[in-house]
Amino acid sequence: MLKVRTRIAPSPTGDPHVGTAYIALFNRCFAHQQGGEFILRIEDTDQVRSTSKSESDILAALRWLGLSWCEGPDIGGPCGPYRQSERSALYSEEIKTLLDRGHAFRCFCTADRLNELRARQMQEKAALGYDGHCLKLSQEEVTAMLEQGIEHVIRMRVPKEGDCVFHDMLRGEIRIAWQQIDMQVLIKSDGLPTYHFANVVDDHHMQISHVIRGEEWINSTPKHLLLYQYFGWTPPTYCHMPLLRNPDKSKLSKRKNPTSINYYRDMGYLPQAVVNYLGQMGWTMPDGREVFSVAEMTAAFDLSRVSLGGPVFDVDKLTWLNGKYLREQVSDEEFIRLYRDWAFAAHKVARIVPLLKDRVDRFTDVAPLAGFFLAGLPAIDADSFAHKSLDAEVIKRILQFTLWSFENLPGFSRDGIEHTCMSLAARMDLKIRDFLFPLFVAMSGKAVSTSVVDSISILGLDITRARLRHAITVLGGISNKEAKVLEKDFQQFGGIGD
């Protein structure tokens, strides 16, 4: 019988997302319940957006949650390497098969032509997608263009008529008209594969039996199945999990909710509670119990019991569950150890102490000065922002512009934070002292504290984002209309530039 093998295949292009952990959890439970294997592959085909920092953060976050894998870039395994950027030779080899069989073709269309095509299709309200222009090229023409070294991509052929019909473990039969499927680029002009091609080639070579992934991939599945057919490979079984949602039922997004696993770690949630809560997303234990471990979930796991109603990731409910863990699952001794490890994490304390030393005379001075490093959202209200020359509107503008700039700041380094503040203050025509005032209050709850730039850098983007947002909220928030105006002003005034 076919061995069950599942995988999580994150793209290292940002913070470790709770959605990645959720999909990893269900893949792992399914595989282990079936006596199978769960592996981790890094899909870094997007060379511009992929970073090794994001990769190591994702691995660390999954490890923190206890979602271990038995093969992966960090531990190797029989189907390695497990990083797509290290598997180029395989993709070059495999694309030849499709070209030789006529299932894929070279496309020399310029970006200008493709843009024009798109504009025309939009104007005519026609389906968007490649029009097959280069399918008309003769072999001689292709050879000549290759000899001239003309830049090109490789696309897959897609039937024009009929439907792609496939079975989804949760949704049953899914039918998608081929007409809706684009002639997907498989190999980019730099010779590297796109997600779709690398994903299929790797799932096959890594002997993945079940692809359990988010529902946003349903529309890509016909392309993937067609590739399996072209290669003559047996496709895996597909299962598209419901997407996590904000309490207002929109797709979970960091604009409305913290989505980085690091945020939950930094806010002092227990990994067991976070993973338990993720296990409640679309899943209930057969006996209805709310507190369960990954091992218990695995033992009881049955994919057909996953419900498709959009699971809501509600931070308040997670907080409640975390409290239950602290009260009922953690002994006093464990509490001390866990709290100490969290609050006095060596890498953090080593950066905080130098900021404090010059400002304290006794240890009793430490907590009032540095307590905000260990707190959640500061206890502030609109009055906390009273200032001789800045009104609430300007203060909200400072906070919002800072937040947008920080979100675009690669690496979120101390120097980058400082530079951002200086340049924003200059562009807003504010004295740096005045500019920093609302940041001090938003971050520490007080107008005076340890250096705000250093504090922000130690607290990290996730906590900073939450505090800036909280500050904006206590100042009355920003309506959608106001946000539009602010966005426009922010762009006009150079956005994130220098």
Which residue ranges make up the site for ligand GLU (CB under 6 A)?
9-11, 43, 195, 199, 213, 217
Pairing outcome for strands 210-214 and 237-241:
parallel
Residue 58 or 458: the one with the smaller Cβ distance to ligand GLU is 58
Q: How far apart are CA 84 and CA 90, in angstroms?
A: 10
Q: How far apart are CA 183 and CA 202, in angstroms?
A: 20
Q: Cα dihedral angle (365, 366, 371, 373), rounded to 10 degrees?
A: 150
Pairing outcome for strands 5-8 and 37-40:
parallel
Q: How far apart are CA 425 and CA 417, in angstroms?
A: 12
Residue 24 or 370: the one with the smaller Cβ distance to ligand GLU is 24
The 10 Å Cβ neighbour count of residue 77 is: 17
Strand, coil or helix: 88: helix
Q: What share of the chain is helix, strand, coil (3-state, %, to 5)?
A: 55, 10, 35
Shortest Å, Cβ 342 to ligand GLU: 29
Annotation says 357 is catalytic: no
Shortest Å, Cβ 453 to ligand GLU: 33
Structure tokens belonging to residue 216: 């946003």
Residue 9 or 281: the one with the smaller Cβ distance to ligand GLU is 9
Q: What are phi and psi of 80, to 5 degrees?
A: -70, 180
Strand, coil or helix: 369: helix
- Reference 31, options 222, 236, 198; nearest CA is 236
Structural element, H or E, at residue 154? strand 153-156
| Cis previous bond, 81, omega within 30 | yes
Residue 64 or 217: the one with the smaller Cβ distance to ligand GLU is 217
Q: How far apart are CA 269 and CA 376, in angstroms?
A: 11
Q: How far apart are CA 422 and CA 433, in angstroms?
A: 10
In the set 188, 254, 256, 324, the catalytic residue is 254
Shortest Å, Cβ 257 to ligand GLU: 19
Angle at 293 between CA 297 and CA 32, to 5 degrees: 45
Burial call 180-202: b when 16+ CB within 10 Å, e when fewer: ebebbbbbeeeebbbbbbbbbbb
The 10 Å Cβ neighbour count of residue 473 is: 12
Tokens 């988010």 found at: 214
Q: Would you say 423 and 498 are in contact if contact means Cβ atoms under 8 Å apart?
A: yes
Shortest Å, Cβ 229 to ligand GLU: 18
Q: How far apart are CA 381 and CA 497, in angstroms?
A: 32
Structure tokens belonging to residue 154: 């490789």
- Reference 186, options 147, 220, 216; nearest CA is 220
Q: What are phi and psi of 155, to 5 degrees?
A: -115, 160
DSSP letter for each residue of 6-26: EEE----SSS-BHHHHHHHHH
Q: Would you say 209 and 36 are in contact if contact means Cβ atoms under 8 Å apart?
A: yes
Residues acting as catalytic residues: 254
